[in-house]
Structure 1
Amino acid sequence: MLALASLSGASDAEWARDGAAFADLALLGGLAVDDASRDAARDLVARGRREFLPDDPLAFADAELAALSEAPIRPGLNVRSATLDPVREAAAVCARHDAVVEINAHCRQEELCAAGCGERLLRDTGRLERYVAAASEAGATVSVKVRAEVDGVDLPETARRVAAAGADAIHVDAMDSEEVIAAVAAASDAVVVANNGVRDRATAWEYLAYGADGVSVGRPSDDPAVLRRVARAVDDWWRRAAEDGATLDRERERDREPEVPG
């Protein structure tokens, strides 16, 4: 699987359509969906960052996801919230469009953390579990975006707990700790999507070799040349895995065949 990772203030329906020829999933957003996260987003805009700040974030999400109803890519929505109910409401919107809702426990900007979003949520596993459970109960496919190298956070244990709460996927920004993907993948049966520095065959295959089910492209997700390289790399990896599996099955079948006396 190849996903397009959300980019603050840039990942909208048009962006998703542009990448649809290469990827399986496009995560729109991140979208601040409650008052505290929206106030934090306004502070980010004031210091020069791009953010989505529509008057009605859920209506915006509904319209953006509807615009992708005929696109050959599955949509998703990365949401930021300091409170539970807006996550449930956003998940219900996503469920209506067969879209993935991705809970943002990843962003580390000071404004978002102060509001209780992003990395602050990652540090509060109990609250993150409640977000996941509410989103799952709303009928959505649930992803959780996390990051490695956060002091005091046992990422494999967090992955185990959020998967038990109903997360279908764990989207891991590996930072400079690529090997953490193996530990996260071993912690649960959730789909693991690896992110950070995915640009070509070498970077995609490294994550897949550690046990990721897929990779995501972040900043260069608007560069067709990068997406083409990564898409080809992912396809080649799974084609080779299928061929190797078929060969192993034939060898096992041959070993089970009874010897015929000469």
Structure 2
Amino acid sequence: MLALASLSGESDAEWARAGAAHADLAFLGGVAVDDASREAARQLVARGREEFLPEDPIAFVDRQLTALDDAPIRAGVNVRSATLDPIRAVAARCAAHDAVIEINAHCRQDELCAVGCGERLLRDTDRLADYVAAASETGATVSVKVRAEVAGVDLPATARRLDDAGADIVHVDAMDSEPRVADVAAVTDAAVLANNGVRDRATAWEYLAYGADGVSVGRPSDDPAVLQRVARAVDDWTRRDTGERGAFG
């Protein structure tokens, strides 16, 4: 499995189609979907970051997914929210399009953390598990984007909790702690996607050897040469691998 990881303000339906020749799954977004996260996103824009800030974020998600209904790549949407109801609403739209909702417990920008999103959500396991359960109840495939190297967060324990809540995918940004992927893969029945620094055969195979079911490409996701190298590496690994782990729903 090769996925395209979301890039704030850049990962839309057009971007996903551009990578469809090489990847299996594309996470659009991130999209701020409630008032608090949208205000935080406006603050990020004010200091120069790109963000998706449509007037109606749920309608925006629906339009983006509709644009990919006939695409040769499965769509996902990475969402940020400080409240539960918008998660449920986006998950319902994802279920209708056979898309994946990805709950963002990953962003580390101060503005987002201050309102309870991103890493702040990762530190609040009960609330994060509630988000996963609510999304799963809609019938959507649920991914959670998490980050290694967050002080006070036991990532394997968190992965087990998310698995119990109904997560289908745990998407791990390994930072500079690549072996943490193995720790997560060892304790969850959810599929594990590994992210950070994936550029070629060596970097993809390192994560796959740690037990990841797939890898994701972030910043170079608009570079066909990188995607071709990584896709070939994943295919080669799959052919040589005789074991199977989780499914992506």
Alignment RMSD, CA only? 0.6
Give CA-to-partner distance per residue, 1:123-159, whole Å, 9 cap, x none. Answer: 0000000000000001110000000000000000000
Question: 2:238 & 2:140 partners in 1: Cα distance?
Answer: 27
Q: Find the counterpart in structure 2 of residue 98 from structure 1.
A: 98
User: Given the two structures, how large is their TM-score scaled by the length of structure 2?
Assistant: 0.97
How many residues of Structure 1 are paired with residues of Structure 2 in the alignment? 243
Measured after TM superposition, the shift of residue 188 of structure 1 is 1.1
Q: Are 2:238 and 1:238 aligned?
A: yes
In the alignment, which residue of structure 2 is the partner of 1:168?
Answer: 168
Aligned 1:26-105 pairs, distance under 5 A: 26-105=26-105
- How far apart, CA to CA, are the structure 1 residues paired with 2:17 and 2:68? 7
Q: Aligned letter for 1:207?
A: Y
Aligned counterpart, 2:179: 179
Q: Which amino acid aligns with 2:34?
A: D
Larger Rg: 1
Deviations 1:19-45 (A, max 9, x none): 000000000000000000000000000
- Matched with 1:22 is 22
C-alpha distance in 2, partners of 1:51/1:160? 31
Residues of 2 paired with 1:163 and 1:65: CA distance?
Answer: 25
Could you list the runs of 5+ residues in structure 1 that have no partner in the other structure?
246-262
Whole-angstrom CA distance in 1 between matches of 2:115 and 2:219: 25
Q: Report SS of the residue matched to 1:167.
A: coil
Which structure has the highest helix share of the two?
A: 1
Please report how far the alpha carbon of residue 93 of structure 1 lies from its aligned counterpart in structure 2 after TM superposition.
0.7
Distance, in Å, in 1 between the alignment partners of 2:91 and 2:224 is 30
Deviation by residue 1:138-195 (Cα, 9 ceiling, x = unmatched): 1110000000000000000000001100000000000000000111001110000000
TM-score by length of 1: 0.92
Letter in 1 for 2:84: L
State how far apart, in whole Å, the 2-side matches of 1:106 and 1:115 are.
Answer: 14
Task: Summarize the alignment of residues 127-166 of structure 1 with structure 2, pairs less than 5 Å apart.
Answer: 127-166=127-166
Instruction: Give the whole-Å Cα distance in 2 for the aligned partners of 1:91 and 1:70.
Output: 20
Q: What amino acid is the match of 1:4?
A: L
Aligned residue for 1:205, secondary structure, equals helix
Residue 9 of structure 1: CA displacement? 0.1
Q: State yes or no: 1:224 paired with 2:224.
A: yes
